[in-house]
Amino acid sequence: MAKTFMLNVDNLSSNEDEKKIRDYFETNLDGVEKLDINLSLKLISVHYNEGIGSPKYILDAFNHLGYTVR
């Protein structure tokens, strides 16, 4: 079943940040189906398969990349 997890990312500010996140999620996180990234609002919507991933799994990935989420 697909779920959506919304995150505010304090230190999201550039196209390079967006590329870094997309590249990491596409190559390393099974179950993530889609990312919607809004740089101006510093908001990311993660659509994932809850049978494979979880909110903790997603938060751990952002922490690994050095982003502050809330």
pLDDT in tens, 22-50: 999 999 999 999 999 999 999 999 999 99
CATH class, domain 2-65, is: alpha beta
pLDDT score at 1: 86
pLDDT score at 13: 94
- Structural contact between residues 9 and 53, judged by C-beta atoms closer than 8 angstroms: no
pTM for the full predicted model: 0.91
Q: What is the mean pLDDT of residues 53-61?
A: 93
Q: What is the dihedral of CA 15, 66, 21, 24, to 10 degrees?
A: 140
Question: How do the domains of the chain map onto residue ranges?
Answer: 2-65
